[in-house]
A and B are shown apart, each in its own frame.
Chain A
Amino acid sequence: MLKNKFWFLLALAACAPQTPDKIVTGKWLEGRAQFVPSRIPAAGPPAASCRSELFTLEEVKREALHYEAQLESEQKINGTWKHLRLNQLPVAQAKFLKAVGTKFGDLTEGVVTDVSACEDAPCIVNTVYRSVDGLEGWATYLWYLKMGNVLSFKNKVFEQADARPGVYKGVSYPLTDYLFSRNELYAFWRMSHALPTVFKTIADLKEIQRVPRKSSIEGREGNTCGLAYSQGFIILNDGCLTFGLTNDNGFIYEGTTHEMAHQIDFQWGKRDNVNSFYYSDNGPWAEVGGWSMREYWDEATRKTIREWSSTLTDAQFVRSYARTSPVEHFADTAAYYRYDGENTKRKIPAPVYTLLKSSVFEQLDYDPVGLMSQFESESVKMFTNEVFQSVANCSKDATTPNTVVPLPEASFPFAVSLPERRCLASKLKGLVDQAVVEAKLQHVDGCRILRVPQRVSEFKQKIEATFLAQMIGHIRAARESEDYFNRLNEFYRNLDQKVLPLRLMAGCYGELNERECYQDAVSDLLDELIPADVIQAETMQTDLRRMFLEANRFETVKMETIKVHQDFLFTQSALISDSVHELWQTCLAVPLTDHDSPVAGPLSLGAGWMASSQYNCLNRDIAKETRSVVGGMSFDQLGVTDGKEGKLLYDLALPIYVREIKQLYEDALAAESALVTKTLEESSQLFEQKLKGDFSWARRPNSLQSDCESEALKNLPNDFRYHKRSEVFTPRARLFCQQLLQSAEFATWMSTQQVFVEQQVLNHFVSRIQVKSDERVAECLEKYPIGNIFQSVWNKKKCRRCYLDEWEQLETVAWGEALTAANTQLPIERSTLRGRVSYRIEQIQEDVHENKCKSNSLGIRLGNPF
């Protein structure tokens, strides 16, 4: 019976009849190799090399060129960037330059960074940095290749209040204060190796920017060191970029990872969007964190209040800040999980830990025990072929110096010759030593964890036991079937490829239970490869299934599948860009109106504005066009025909498509803003001309201000697409009209206008009647008091009669006074106008009857309720 069944499975998989590949990304992935860092010969023993030593220009450049090659495509990007023709650059460099755009270096007006001598993207960055050796440029470019966003190298911070580059919070800073230091770039490079795949799939994150040195973040208290914007920016200041005792630790790691975790939260929220817009404030995260929202309307302030609270205790959070809200809880816990794994595991509740472990960290632990386990798994994968070859070589030629101590006979369940045991012992020792070297070299935490001699010894023991077990399995396999052994030999040469798990995972995308689907796909594969009539088929299938799933964890494969598809989309960028431009032009051609309400769709503009005709056109067609673009993608004459693959590519391409549309919107907005500014500058003159020159718009005495504003706005251009006319121009119009209506010119004109003078006189008339009415009531009540029930009965009618006596004369006097107050020369006749205010006069009289010349049954005279 075969002990090492895993290798049997893989061999059979490799040799199983191959059906034509329907998965484009699978075919594309076949051509991609994994990056292998250089083996730097160390001055001391081989085990001295650490990952941190690989942050050199040569190594960073080599890594960058590796990823650049993987993202290359026959479909080049069109256009130019300064003097560079984008279609003559690698696709990745062209995309990098497009992402940077014109905003790089010192953006101060009149200052130009001369990059005319540059022939590639890293050179542009190096020029800005004035790099002595080119490392900054290649490190920045490498970050873009691996993480998909740009480490900013310009002197302006997103949404800063001051329009001037190089000025932040009113203080001038040199360009160098905005640039990341070499140590900070090292930390970013280290994070690109330390973080799991999900951090490399944040499609909406555009840039990470540095707030100038020694400055706090605008609009925030001093202890806020980072901000994440859903528009795709992260800004960090000194507080988030600090180091500990070495450059391998410090808050720079937790701080940056925290902000990136926010971006993941935004992205997952959009994906899972049911009733929420974050992943963390709804669903499983909110549940395990015991989060609930308290909301109510404050009747006193007329404001909505919304506050989060958790049932967890303070001690169950990684730090107090995580207690702020589920969003901060998620971001903070993710950051500390990665860099302070041991304490995090100890502190936070098991359900929270478990959820984070599976959703973000691919079932990996980062406490020392967890990290050692990672080193073991990676060593097993890395040396599978070498272990196999050792057995193959030792079986052919076991010549080994006699000084080497052979493996004991008892190590094997069957007889193995002394020379072979000696040979295997030598190979085994070499492999184990190499495994230690690789753990330190491959893993950013390798040197830190394996610095402790006890841990090294523990690691060596475990690896040795695993390799020995594999060797035993291979020997047995070789003895049972030479043919099988030869097939295994061929297969192990290609063991690093991820194509098989990718194909299985891609086939499960979008299923209700993807994990179950993936596991079932593995089982189906085994059913095919190990027929039921094979001896102990069921046991073999169970063992192999377990081994395969351990080596290809669902969470890891899922993230890698997404990353592979994103990388594939990267190579198809030209197709996406062309479609975006075409759709934009189509929607620009739609007649401009704002009558319809904006409809829901993939595009949203934050607090921005777009005419609804254009907005609705885009939102209606973005999804359709994205689908069409995905349908047109291909690699090596294989198009996207598989439904699941198409769906996955569509889901990943849609945010890219929307991002490019938004970029076009921002460019158009900037162009229109210049026009708006010009119009605002000219508006006063225009208002003077149109409104002062002709007061015919002033027809309604009670609506002068609003009529003036409407008239003012009517005279302004009507074709702004990205600015709400009333918001941009109303304040200016309002101020102008307020001043105009108070001007002598307008007053003079008004005094010649019958309608205004009449209104004025009527207002005075009613006002005088009120005054006289009050005087008369007082006189009448003195004559006919109503202080108790008896007086009320006796005097009520007398009081009223007194009040109305010679009322006509009262009005005549009031009218005379009103005319005097208006001081007009125009003929104003009371008889023609009184009808307009008769109801108001009646109200005054009614008030007296009901509230003054009257009392209730308790003898209390009612006051005026109005």
Chain B
Amino acid sequence: MFSKYAFVLLALAGACADSNAPIRYGETTKAALVADKGQPSSAEKPLENSPTEILVYPDNQKYQVTNDVVVAGFREPSSDEKSLLYWRHRFKDCPTTFEALSKRDNHLHPEKELKCARDGVSVIYDPNTDQVTRVVEHAQK
């Protein structure tokens, strides 16, 4: 009987430990994410016939889940994080790439992605407004 209770306690301890664990992109499961963040306000399917879905949370926070694994997260930048200089400073020891997201033929510059693949962090920068508009976290390379 004691062993039965011990088992239950251990299981609970494990569950509690999981729910407070930071999200590890490429490893954390959808279940763990939902246990931690609660049910999403909505879910989107960005691609047809694909196992990928985007779980939407308040404050425009989103998580991309593929085959039940959280592979990426999207959030708004904090006020300090809105300047590109902040991220260039933060990534100063990380080899980065800085590429246009799309080759759009219009009157504005396309958004650009400053990526530190080593840390699994990218930021989306809009040269038209001179602001970082999104922070994207994903599996490290």
Binds B, one of A74-82, A223-231, A571-579, A824-832: A223-231
Contact of B138 with A321 in the complex, beta carbons under 8 Å: no
Shortest Cβ gap from A600 to chain B (Å): 4
Q: A270, A297, A607: which has the most chain B beta carbons within 10 Å?
A: A297
Contact of A607 with B84 in the complex, beta carbons under 8 Å: yes
A609 within 8 A of B: yes
Shortest Cβ gap from A480 to chain B (Å): 60
Cα of A384 to Cα of B5 in the assembled complex, Å:
93
Contact of B105 with A297 in the complex, beta carbons under 8 Å: no
B4 within 8 A of A: no
Please pick, from A221, A299, A305, A607, the residue contacting B66 in the complex, using a CB distance under 8 A: A299
- Which residues on A sit within 8 Å (CB–CB) of B76? 275
Cα of A278 to Cα of B124 in the assembled complex, Å:
15
Given A295-B46, A297-B64, A598-B80, A331-B107 contact (CB < 8 Å): yes
Given A277-B129, A297-B71, A606-B127, A304-B64 contact (CB < 8 Å): no
Please pick, from A223, A296, A302, the residue contacting B117 in the complex, using a CB distance under 8 A: A302
Q: Mark B76-94, 1 if CB is under 8 A from A, else 0.
A: 1011111111101110100
Cα of A306 to Cα of B113 in the assembled complex, Å:
11
Contact of A304 with B105 in the complex, beta carbons under 8 Å: no
Contact of B52 with A594 in the complex, beta carbons under 8 Å: no
- Residues of A304-343 whose CB lies within 8 A of B: 304-306, 321, 324-325, 327-328, 331
A599 within 8 A of B: yes
Q: Which residue of B lies closest to A299 (CB)?
A: B71
Q: Which residue of B lies closest to A255 (CB)?
A: B107
Cα of A437 to Cα of B140 in the assembled complex, Å:
72
Contact of A598 with B129 in the complex, beta carbons under 8 Å: no
A615 within 8 A of B: yes
A696 within 8 A of B: no
Binds B, one of A95-103, A258-266, A425-433: A258-266
Given A277-B129, A302-B138, A598-B80, A227-B107 contact (CB < 8 Å): yes
Shortest Cβ gap from B67 to chain A (Å): 10
- Which residues on B sit within 8 Å (CB–CB) of A277? 126, 129, 131, 133
Q: Mark B101-141, 1 if CB is under 8 A from A, else 0.
A: 11011111101010101000010111111110110101001
B44 within 8 A of A: yes
- Which residues on A sit within 8 Å (CB–CB) of B131? 277, 604
Q: Which residue of B lies closest to A605 (CB)?
A: B85
Cα of A606 to Cα of B125 in the assembled complex, Å:
9
A597 within 8 A of B: yes
Please pick, from A276, A305, A324, the residue contacting B101 in the complex, using a CB distance under 8 A: A305
Contact of B107 with A258 in the complex, beta carbons under 8 Å: yes
Contact of A724 with B92 in the complex, beta carbons under 8 Å: yes
B23 within 8 A of A: no
Contact of A597 with B90 in the complex, beta carbons under 8 Å: yes
Contact of A605 with B83 in the complex, beta carbons under 8 Å: yes
Cα of A538 to Cα of B65 in the assembled complex, Å:
64
A214 within 8 A of B: no
- Please give the number of chain A residues whose Cβ is less than 8 angstroms from any Cβ of chain B in the complex: 52
- Please give the number of chain B residues whose Cβ is less than 8 angstroms from any Cβ of chain A in the complex: 55
Cα of A221 to Cα of B106 in the assembled complex, Å:
9
A220 within 8 A of B: yes
- Residues of A189-233 whose CB lies within 8 A of B: 220-221, 223-224, 226-231
A269 within 8 A of B: yes
Contact of A598 with B71 in the complex, beta carbons under 8 Å: no
Shortest Cβ gap from B104 to chain A (Å): 7
Contact of A223 with B113 in the complex, beta carbons under 8 Å: no
A726 within 8 A of B: yes
Contact of B107 with A328 in the complex, beta carbons under 8 Å: yes
B13 within 8 A of A: no
Q: Which residue of A lies closest to B92 (CB)?
A: A726
Shortest Cβ gap from A316 to chain B (Å): 19
B74 within 8 A of A: yes
Contact of B85 with A229 in the complex, beta carbons under 8 Å: no
Given A277-B133, A296-B46, A609-B71 contact (CB < 8 Å): no
- Which residues on B sit within 8 Å (CB–CB) of A224? 105-107
Contact of B108 with A615 in the complex, beta carbons under 8 Å: no
Contact of B127 with A230 in the complex, beta carbons under 8 Å: yes
Please pick, from B88, B92, B133, B136, the residue contacting A297 in the complex, using a CB distance under 8 A: B136
A836 within 8 A of B: no
Cα of A609 to Cα of B66 in the assembled complex, Å:
38
Cα of A230 to Cα of B72 in the assembled complex, Å:
30
Shortest Cβ gap from B126 to chain A (Å): 6
- Which residues on B sit within 8 Å (CB–CB) of A610? 85
Contact of B92 with A604 in the complex, beta carbons under 8 Å: no
A400 within 8 A of B: no
Contact of B89 with A612 in the complex, beta carbons under 8 Å: yes
Please pick, from A324, A597, A608, the residue contacting B86 in the complex, using a CB distance under 8 A: A597
Q: Which residue of A lies closest to B86 (CB)?
A: A598
- Residues of B12-58 whose CB lies within 8 A of A: 44, 46-47, 52, 54
Shortest Cβ gap from B37 to chain A (Å): 18
Contact of B54 with A230 in the complex, beta carbons under 8 Å: no
Contact of B117 with A262 in the complex, beta carbons under 8 Å: no
B3 within 8 A of A: no
Cα of A594 to Cα of B74 in the assembled complex, Å:
29
Please pick, from A231, A262, A598, the residue contacting B108 in the complex, using a CB distance under 8 A: A262
A294 within 8 A of B: yes
Contact of A297 with B72 in the complex, beta carbons under 8 Å: yes
Q: Which residue of A lies closest to B74 (CB)?
A: A295
Q: Which residue of B lies closest to A324 (CB)?
A: B106
Contact of B129 with A230 in the complex, beta carbons under 8 Å: yes
Shortest Cβ gap from A321 to chain B (Å): 7
- Which residues on B sit within 8 Å (CB–CB) of A324? 104, 106
Contact of A266 with B128 in the complex, beta carbons under 8 Å: yes
Please pick, from A266, A295, A305, A724, the residue contacting B62 in the complex, using a CB distance under 8 A: A295
Shortest Cβ gap from B79 to chain A (Å): 4
Cα of A600 to Cα of B85 in the assembled complex, Å:
10
Cα of A604 to Cα of B82 in the assembled complex, Å:
9
- Which residues on A sit within 8 Å (CB–CB) of B44? 294
Shortest Cβ gap from B96 to chain A (Å): 10
Cα of A459 to Cα of B129 in the assembled complex, Å:
45
Q: Mark A712-737, 1 if CB is under 8 A from B, else 0.
A: 00000000000010100000000000
Given A295-B134, A600-B82, A221-B105 contact (CB < 8 Å): yes
A396 within 8 A of B: no
- Which residues on B sit within 8 Å (CB–CB) of A608? 85
Contact of A304 with B85 in the complex, beta carbons under 8 Å: no
A303 within 8 A of B: yes
- Which residues on B sit within 8 Å (CB–CB) of A299? 66, 71
Contact of B130 with A306 in the complex, beta carbons under 8 Å: no
Shortest Cβ gap from B97 to chain A (Å): 10
Q: Which residue of B lies closest to A325 (CB)?
A: B106
Q: Which residue of B lies closest to A296 (CB)?
A: B46
Contact of B128 with A304 in the complex, beta carbons under 8 Å: no
Contact of A228 with B107 in the complex, beta carbons under 8 Å: yes
Cα of A224 to Cα of B105 in the assembled complex, Å:
7
Cα of A224 to Cα of B44 in the assembled complex, Å:
33
26 residue pairs bridging A and B, Cβ less than 8 Å apart? A224-B105, A226-B107, A227-B107, A230-B127, A230-B128, A230-B130, A275-B76, A277-B129, A295-B46, A296-B46, A296-B52, A297-B64, A299-B66, A303-B101, A303-B113, A305-B101, A328-B108, A331-B107, A597-B80, A600-B82, A604-B130, A605-B83, A606-B130, A607-B98, A609-B85, A726-B92
List 10 additional contacts besides A275-B60, A278-B129; criterion CB under 8 Å: A226-B107, A276-B133, A277-B129, A295-B134, A296-B54, A306-B124, A328-B107, A597-B86, A598-B80, A605-B84
Residues of B within 8 A of A (CB): 44, 46-47, 52, 54, 59-60, 62, 64, 66, 71-72, 74, 76, 78-86, 88-90, 92, 98-99, 101-102, 104-109, 111, 113, 115, 117, 122, 124-131, 133-134, 136, 138, 141
Residues of A within 8 A of B (CB): 220-221, 223-224, 226-231, 258-259, 262, 266, 269-270, 275-278, 294-297, 299, 302-306, 321, 324-325, 327-328, 331, 594, 597-600, 604-610, 612, 615, 724, 726
The 8 lowest CB-CB distance pairs between A and B, nearest first, are: A297-B72, A277-B129, A600-B79, A296-B46, A277-B131, A221-B105, A600-B80, A598-B85
